A and B are shown apart, each in its own frame.
Chain A
């Protein structure tokens, strides 16, 4: 009699949890990819932990606070490690609707990941897309700040150069009338010949005879 009951229960369980059954989800773990040498082996204890995490997630859904670990059924565990699971209701006759399970898992995905030291890429619930973390979005984009800094520097530099150019030109225009100031300007030259200050003679724009510019290669050796 007991054996019959046992067979009946396992048969019902087998029907409820099957690959591709209604409300069943496939789970895929890539433990070795995630942890490398520190990878743990997938055994029945880990399966128990998984059932516990799923039950925990379901308990967070309103109306499902009574979910127990025994309500979560696993089947078809492969080497990969991958398996299918369903969550049944307290009567163990029907499976809970997929939508509820989906919402529950999505809300608690981080906790489930943490329990197994995995992340969204290595612990996959097929058909339950995980909410990806949005990238950090500062209120003012960083590039505008840097752009603003460089822009201001360039504008200031241009303004300074233009102003100094204007000032130089004004000084050039005033020179012929300001003979006295020439003495202050000339550091080396302190002679004023015929009222013409010596300063302009030093400037590049003055009367420099290129033919007499000394250049080493032009001088013939003695």
Chain B
């Protein structure tokens, strides 16, 4: 008799694991950005519609498959059809890419957390220049938070081509991040993570994408988690709960993020006014304290008419301070987490406390996501008899962590952040869409929707409502195909891909083209996961043919 599969202690633990996986950094930095870009509250409409039409059905599907097949992604899809185990392999490959670069975010969070125990916070002041007469030039041109991020944390090089060496400080933090992940997966997989994606200006496309990636579909993590469920557990209820909590967290996070935006915008606006007042006061030797925010415009008009020549000299330096333009700068991704938030935190009272709390939260989210990712990789590996008979579970986990950590050192080099952006943008987008599309079609048409429905009924004791069946068989695949088409056409239309590089001399980001070998790496990333599906199908077909040939010759 086969050794019984380890189970979750209770259904609540499974739900928490899924939530922890789905609620990740994307909820904090991607969703608020999308809300701001696409009209604030009105973005909720396409978002909720996509949640109901696309997110919940696909989440339910993945959980049901895992719970029914009781195996990791590779085994589950092999059970559905031997030709489709490539889907599972593709999921594992994508999860592998994700875990390679995602833990770097945790390394950065650790770095900032450790630096939060200082007074003043290191990103709130600029360091002095060589002869102590002023501040460092790069820091003056940019801001102290940007300087701390680009120079002290990343030590970023001006372009992708200049690699630089491995920086020992982020490398140490990455090592620690992997040790923490290893510690958590050593004794059982419970956690989650999520990553998100970026695309085109269409609000609906973005809502669909956000739901899709926010729930973590296609990585195999959900299948892995569900495979440890008892067959009778109510995965329909779990799917709804997890997706609702994920969306609620996104909305809650955007409320917090918007208040941070507002604080930062107000603070910068008032600073801008102060700078303009000081400039005018000094140029025209006005009485100190005479210029205030209310009379600024009048005085400017008066000075322009009274001293036209002097005013025209100083005019280029007078910035037009506008609260609207401050509010309009929406930032997403690592920029939001590590630059905008730290800038807001440094201006608060007791900033060390807020900083520690904030980066601790980031770490919790990030490590949660990492555990889900490693579960997606480890479950198929420990399921496979070949590997698990030779090595104990601890050794397999250790090996996976070690390999990922070693490859992750690439992201700690001086050009590491540029490679990070490549992985973040391209490692999982197209591949995941394809994987989930094949998953849906496989379950509905290859395995058979009726057969799957009767399996679920026998397993859980509940019938599957017509809504889910319609979604699985028709609406969701159509949606995914249209998303896929949109992405492809967008990539084709945009031409060469560009990236943002940090220019130290100007103190701001500049756009550059990717060199040839970077484009090759992007192509490799997308191809290596998508090609798994047809290649494994082909391989299985060939093997079957050979076996049938042998059997025929023997008989």
Q: Smallest CB-CB separation from A215: which chain B residue?
A: B232
Q: Complex Cα distance A33/B289, Å? A: 7
B232 proximity list for chain A (CB < 8 A): 210, 213, 215, 218
- Verify B285–A157 contact, CB threshold 8 A: no
Is B542 an interface residue when CB atoms closer than 8 A count as contact?
no
Is A129 an interface residue when CB atoms closer than 8 A count as contact?
yes
Is A154 an interface residue when CB atoms closer than 8 A count as contact?
yes
Considering the complex, which residues of chain B in the window 174-233 have a beta carbon less than 8 Å from any beta carbon of chain A? 176, 179-180, 182-183, 186-187, 230-232
- Verify B183–A31 contact, CB threshold 8 A: no
Determine which of A81, A135, A161, A215 lies in contact with B125 in the assembled complex, contact meaning CB atoms within 8 Å: A135
- Verify A151–B282 contact, CB threshold 8 A: no
Question: A80-B288, A204-B6, A210-B230 are known contacts. Are A142 and B179 too (CB-CB below 8 A)?
Answer: no
- Verify B117–A82 contact, CB threshold 8 A: no
A174 proximity list for chain B (CB < 8 A): none
Considering the complex, which residues of chain A in the window 35-93 have a beta carbon less than 8 Å from any beta carbon of chain B? 78-82
Within the complex, what minimum Cβ distance (angstroms) separates A80 from chain B?
Answer: 4
Q: Which residue, of B1, B4, B111, B182, has the highest number of chain A Cβ atoms within 10 A?
A: B4
Determine which of A32, A150, A204 lies in contact with B7 in the assembled complex, contact meaning CB atoms within 8 Å: A204
- Verify A154–B7 contact, CB threshold 8 A: no
Considering the complex, which residues of chain B in the window 294-353 have a beta carbon less than 8 Å from any beta carbon of chain A? none
Determine which of A80, A129, A213, A217 lies in contact with B134 in the assembled complex, contact meaning CB atoms within 8 Å: A129
Q: Complex Cα distance A134/B125, Å? A: 11
Q: Complex Cα distance A205/B133, Å? A: 70
| Residues of chain B at interface, number, CB under 8 A | 42
Determine which of B6, B114, B125, B179 lies in contact with A155 in the assembled complex, contact meaning CB atoms within 8 Å: B179
- Interface of B, secondary structure class, is loop
Determine which of B128, B186, B234, B281 lies in contact with A217 in the assembled complex, contact meaning CB atoms within 8 Å: B234
Q: Complex Cα distance A150/B183, Å? A: 13
Is B28 an interface residue when CB atoms closer than 8 A count as contact?
no
- Verify B285–A78 contact, CB threshold 8 A: yes
- Verify A143–B230 contact, CB threshold 8 A: no
Within the complex, what minimum Cβ distance (angstroms) separates B470 from chain A?
Answer: 26
Is A28 an interface residue when CB atoms closer than 8 A count as contact?
yes
A32 proximity list for chain B (CB < 8 A): 288-289
B183 proximity list for chain A (CB < 8 A): 154, 157-158, 161
A213 proximity list for chain B (CB < 8 A): 230, 232
Question: A132-B132, A154-B179, A161-B187 are known contacts. Are A80 and B285 too (CB-CB below 8 A)?
Answer: yes
Within the complex, what minimum Cβ distance (angstroms) separates B370 from chain A?
Answer: 14
B118 proximity list for chain A (CB < 8 A): 142-143
Is A105 an interface residue when CB atoms closer than 8 A count as contact?
no
Is A20 an interface residue when CB atoms closer than 8 A count as contact?
no
Q: Complex Cα distance A33/B288, Å? A: 7
As a 0/1 sequence over residues 110 to 148 of chain B, the CB contacts with chain A under 8 angstroms (1 = contact) are 110011011010000101100011110000000000000
Question: A129-B133, A161-B187 are known contacts. Are A80 and B286 too (CB-CB below 8 A)?
Answer: yes
Question: A82-B285, A151-B176, A208-B4 are known contacts. Are A146 and B117 too (CB-CB below 8 A)?
Answer: yes
- Verify A134–B4 contact, CB threshold 8 A: no
Determine which of A30, A130, A135, A204 lies in contact with B4 in the assembled complex, contact meaning CB atoms within 8 Å: A204
Is B461 an interface residue when CB atoms closer than 8 A count as contact?
yes
Q: Could you show 23 A-B contacts with beta carbons less than 8 Å apart?
A: A31-B288, A32-B288, A33-B289, A80-B286, A132-B128, A135-B127, A143-B117, A146-B117, A147-B172, A150-B176, A154-B180, A154-B183, A155-B179, A165-B187, A165-B392, A165-B394, A204-B4, A204-B7, A205-B3, A205-B4, A205-B6, A210-B231, A215-B230
Interface residues of B (CB under 8 A from A): 1, 3-4, 6-7, 110-111, 114-115, 117-118, 120, 125, 127-128, 132-135, 172-173, 176, 179-180, 182-183, 186-187, 230-232, 234, 281-282, 285-289, 392, 394, 461
